[in-house]
Structure 1
Amino acid sequence: MLSQLMVLFGFFSLVLVAVYWVNRAVVLFDRLIADGHSAGVFLEFTALSLPSVIALVLPMASFAAAVYVTNRLMGDSELTVVQATGYSPWRLARPVFFFGVIVALMLSALTHFLVPASVAQLKEREVEISGSVSARLLREGAFLHPGPGVTFFIRDITPEGELRDVFLSDRRQDDREVTYTAERAYVVQGDSGPRLVMISGLAQTLRIETGALSTTLFQDFTYDISTLIVQNQNLNLRPRHLATWDLITRPQEMAAFVDVPIARINEELHSRFQNALLGLVAALIGFSTLLTGSFSRFGVGRQIVVAIFLLVVVKLVESAVTDPSRNNPMLWPLVYLPSVVGLAIVGIVLHLAARPFRQPRHASVTEASA
């Protein structure tokens, strides 16, 4: 049974990860490619977001695997035969428990190591590419707006890096508008930032108050474009970017580092342990709920619906305890309440499966008299 659970768990994990990954990849593709970044940057960002996606879907995959395997065993009457030999529901739940522990260990590796490292690296790469000149300006055949009041256009870019037919409109000053046009231009790196060197062009200055237009022909003109590329130097780190070991050993220092209350640090730390436990709880809920049903030609659809409802209850409890645990540092034990509620539900359901409801007394008397 454990081997079947692992096989189905792998299948559902791949399917769910693919679905979530495609949805995120579409958003990243629109944002990165539209800003002029290469396909390599897109692949790097999608790879860095993958651990978070996997950690999100693994509890659902464990629940789906437990439900599917249990439903198939009941449909083939295998569980009925095993129960007839004297195996109790608690004994039957043992392989599911071991399966849930394996899923919890996988989730622990993700939530404590891979996810914090990947989201921190992703944040650093976002800051690095925010100041990319080639991504923000060097796009041919499109009117770009790299900053408020600035419009930039390039008709063509040669393989040697020469810009052909350049148009630059600067409307950042209230009293005038300046428009530059040039046959050729080059982007060079200066001491204080990138520069746009325009050759054989025209500068037109329009005074807003008087409406006077002045034109200037130039052979070469250097324009500072470093002000157009505003790089975000603020990492805006959050608790989810921090390593688990730092959250355990230096909570006060980490709270000051990311500028959040200590309650938020406690909630983030214990949520990582709690998320790992959800893989175990989800698998046990799926198995135990289906075990309450008996063999039927119509399947166990009702039990599956009940199992989904119980899982939703656990998630509702998780949502309910989030705000209190984030606002009060002494309420961090509430983070584990969803797992406690889930395990209590599992215990109750397994107890009902081990001691099914007896027939009414009058029915028993009628059968005896017959």
Structure 2
Amino acid sequence: MKVGFYTSQREYTEKQKEFDTAIHDVLKNGIATLGQQVKDFEKAVEEFTGAKHAIGVASGTDALVLSSDILGFKDVKEVITSPFTFLASASCIARHGGKPVFVDIDPDTICIDPNKIEEKITDNTVGILPIHLFSQMADMDKIMDIASRHDLKVLEDAAEAFGMRWQGAGDSMKHSGTIGDFGVFSFFPTKTLGGYGDGGMIITNDDNLAELARQYRVHGASKKYHYDNLGYNSRLDTMQAAILLVKIKYIKEAISKREKIASLYKERLSGCEHIRFPKIKGNQSPVYYAFNILTDRRDELNAFLKENEIGTSIYYPMPLHLQKCFSYLGYKKGDFPVAERISKEILALPIYPELTLDEVNYVCDKILEFFKK
């Protein structure tokens, strides 16, 4: 049996009529940047997440870049974040001349360890950039408490966290991205809510920040050809918005199917002494954008699965503090031992709503077969 890590064809086949109609409607009505479908999709995201403002941009990376610029994460100012993440979570700071300051991750959750943040705060620190990774949000209670006490801005990288929610002490459940000053989503095709190309979104409950984000995505214009700021050309494509409008109707169902697949993986693999799972911490609702296992025989297992035509991915094989592009920061091997260890143990298995239970069982069978050898 061949099991791909991800495929979009099954979803398209299931909902072909709806996708075709959405695409043809854009074509029939005339191509327009920030067209009606973008406005409708922004409204749908506001309703689903509870955010006061949703601003569509060209990618999750652009969402981080624009938000970092607006929040002042630049000009040698320091922003505390995790080294165990995708490049964009830190490059958005460095791109503006800011300084990413890394702290190690929690070995259980693989998210930033909030207990290590405060010791890295200096007079030059202006913000914290937590990343909600794989299946859960970072500890936003501790992060927001630290930010409040030190007057720091918080940019939530929720690129992988659409649908995740956190409940603070004595508070209602809040969607990822709505707790800090800004939150960002990516709609890259593999995401829980993914388009058929690049797309991203900035969310906030702050009216002034929202207005700046809307200006920054169109070159900094407050109205056409009137530029209050030096911004960017970064708009969510109308065609992608039309596709995402179809998909967001089924987002709760998609999240539920991912949870069932994750539960089956845990049921089948929990008895294997060579495998560990990240632990969910805090009062939150996880979403299984990715399903990761941890094993000290990761590379051997990965090779075996590929030989058996099972797709996998490694998020992430090298922490950011060891990447060449960040060598100027002066970090060295051993500075963040948890992130370095996890990078050698972590392996993502196939998980998407259209994956069949037979395919999940086949993946589990092969993993258990490997460890019996």
Q: Using structure 2 for the length normalisation, give the TM-score.
A: 0.22
Normalized per residue, the structure richer in helix is: 1
Query: Which of the pair has more CA radius of gyration?
Result: 1
Q: Using structure 1 for the length normalisation, give the TM-score.
A: 0.22
